[in-house]
Amino acid sequence: MIGVTENLAKTNALVTKLCHDYERDAGAVRLIAVSKKHSAEAIAAVAACGQHDIGENFVTEALDKRAALADIASLNWHFIGALQSNKTRSVAENFDWVHTIDRLKIAERLNAQRPHHAAPLKVLIQINIDGETSKSGIAQDAAIDLAREIVQLPSLELRGLMCLPRPTATLTEQRQPFARLAALRTQMSDALGCALPDLSMGMSGDLEAAIAEGATQVRVGTAIFGPRPTTAGGN
């Protein structure tokens, strides 16, 4: 796991440098290590280096790793995958964050299923920022209505917005969808009269663009854990 800890140190250094370059406060950007299809041992290795925010896409796979790592109490688990209704209970019971809320039904189920002794589940609304037909995420023009409903749910805490843009090649192109997400967050925050502190945007390939446009959470997999194995995995 030496490679993983070196990669983590490099990624942290890059985030720090980009915060400096774009005049963001040091510590304004939270790094989430995305470990889908990587082992519990790899997560333990980054946790030992102080990386406690972990992102997972598949419920069953995540629960197996969470069980294997139960003795590491300090981990924060972020659900960043597509969430089906029949998996909401496991997510409500086992995760700290959900980044991919795109319909009220899922939010209502998470709210009802969040254990009463637990802190409210922190959630982000996923926006289909490029308006792609086959993509998850809610359309930009429907997002404020969804947000109005979500803020009524007492066991959820609406923290902001998330997006997963279509891949593009240049920094200029990469910044455009992130700028749109940031603008929508401001518009939503004004409409609702509440702070929405978080923008979850940016991955291994578009980290700079995301930090330039105000990301507060970046979701980085490959740059930390290496390429994902293509076989195993699934939901």
Applying CB under 6 A, which residues contact ligand PLP? Answer: 34, 36, 57, 80, 164, 203-205, 219-223
Task: Report, in Å, the least distance between residue 197 CB and ligand PLP.
Answer: 19
Nearer to ligand PLP by C-beta: 154 or 170? 170
Nearer to ligand PLP by C-beta: 168 or 222? 222
Task: Report, in Å, the least distance between residue 220 CB and ligand PLP.
Answer: 5
CB 176 within 8 A of CB 167: no
Nearer to ligand PLP by C-beta: 158 or 163? 163
Burial class (CB in 10 A: 0-12, 13-18, 19+), 201: buried
Distances (CA, A) of 86 to 25, 82, 157: 40, 12, 21
Nearer to ligand PLP by C-beta: 92 or 162? 162
Task: Report, in Å, the least distance between residue 119 CB and ligand PLP.
Answer: 23
Could you count the other beta carbons within 10 Å of the beta carbon of residue 105? Answer: 9
Task: Report, in Å, the least distance between residue 189 CB and ligand PLP.
Answer: 23
Report helix, strand or coil for 226: coil
Nearer to ligand PLP by C-beta: 17 or 148? 17
Name the residue with the smallest CB distance to ligand PLP.
221
E strands, the chain, are 30-34, 53-56, 76-79, 97-101, 121-127, 156-163, 198-200, 217-220
Number of H helices, E strands in the chain: 9, 8
Task: Report, in Å, the least distance between residue 94 CB and ligand PLP.
Answer: 18
